[in-house]
A = this chain, B = another copy of it.
Amino acid sequence: MKSLENLSQRLTVQYNGKPCYDIVFSDNFTLLSKELRKFHIQNKKLCIVTETNVAPLYAEEVYRLLRPECKEIIIHQFPAGEINKNLDTVNDIYQTLITHKFDRNDMLLALGGGVTGDITGFAAASYLRGIDFIQIPTTLLSQVDSSIGGKTGVDYKSYKNMVGAFYMPRLVYMNLSTLKTLGDREYLSGMGEIIKHGLIRDQEYFYWLKEKKENILAREYNTLKEMIYVSCNIKKAVVENDPKEQNERALLNFGHTIGHAVEKLKDFRLLHGEAVAIGMIAASYLSYMKGYLSFADYKDIIHMNELFCLPTSTTDISPEEVVETTLNDKKMDSGIIKFILLRNIGSAVIDRTLDRETICKAIETIVKE
Residues B333 and A105 in contact, CB atoms below 8 Å apart: yes
In the complex, whether A104 has a CB less than 8 A from a CB of chain B is: yes
A330 and B331 alpha carbons, distance in the complex (Å): 37
In the complex, residue of chain B having the shortest beta-carbon distance to the beta carbon of A94:
B156
In the complex, whether A98 has a CB less than 8 A from a CB of chain B is: yes
Partner of A163, one of B44, B126, B161, B331: B126
Listed stretches A19-27, A127-135, A207-215, A360-368; interface member: A127-135
Residues A103 and B163 in contact, CB atoms below 8 Å apart: no
Q: How far is the CB of A98 from chain B (nearest CB, A)?
A: 6
Number of A interface residues in the complex (CB < 8 A) = 37
A91 and B155 alpha carbons, distance in the complex (Å): 12
A130 and B126 alpha carbons, distance in the complex (Å): 12
Q: How far is the CB of A101 from chain B (nearest CB, A)?
A: 8
Partner of A126, one of B126, B151, B330: B126
Residues A165 and B165 in contact, CB atoms below 8 Å apart: yes
Residues B166 and A151 in contact, CB atoms below 8 Å apart: no
Where chain A touches its partner, the secondary structure class is mixed
Q: How far is the CB of A280 from chain B (nearest CB, A)?
A: 23
Assess A126 versus B334: contact at CB under 8 Å? Given A98-B156, A98-B159, A156-B94: no
Question: Which A328-365 residues have C-beta < 8 A from chain B?
Answer: 328, 330-334
Residues B156 and A104 in contact, CB atoms below 8 Å apart: no
Q: Chain B residues near A129 (CB, 8 Å)?
A: 151-153, 161, 164-166, 244
Assess A163 versus B105: contact at CB under 8 Å? Given A151-B129, A334-B43: no
Q: How many copies does the complex hold?
A: 2
Q: CB-defined interface of A151-179 with B at 8 Å, one 1/0 digit per residue?
A: 11100110101111110000000000000
In the complex, whether A87 has a CB less than 8 A from a CB of chain B is: yes
Q: How far is the CB of A275 from chain B (nearest CB, A)?
A: 20
Residues B156 and A333 in contact, CB atoms below 8 Å apart: no
Interface centre among A44, A104, A153 (most CB of B within 10 A): A104
Residues A162 and B94 in contact, CB atoms below 8 Å apart: yes
Q: How far is the CB of A359 from chain B (nearest CB, A)?
A: 18
In the complex, whether A125 has a CB less than 8 A from a CB of chain B is: yes
Partner of A332, one of B94, B103, B159, B244: B103
Question: Which A7-43 residues have C-beta < 8 A from chain B?
Answer: 43
Residues B334 and A164 in contact, CB atoms below 8 Å apart: no
Residues B104 and A333 in contact, CB atoms below 8 Å apart: yes
A87 and B244 alpha carbons, distance in the complex (Å): 25
Residues B164 and A330 in contact, CB atoms below 8 Å apart: no
Q: How far is the CB of A169 from chain B (nearest CB, A)?
A: 15
22 contacts between A and B (CB under 8 A): A43-B334, A87-B91, A98-B156, A98-B157, A98-B162, A101-B328, A103-B330, A103-B331, A103-B332, A105-B333, A105-B334, A122-B126, A126-B126, A126-B164, A127-B163, A129-B151, A129-B161, A129-B164, A130-B165, A130-B166, A130-B244, A165-B165
- List 7 extra interface pairs beyond A101-B332, A126-B126, CB under 8 A: A44-B334, A87-B87, A94-B162, A101-B328, A103-B333, A127-B162, A127-B163
Q: Which 4 A-B residue pairs are closest in the complex by CB-CB distance?
A: A129-B164, A126-B163, A105-B334, A129-B166
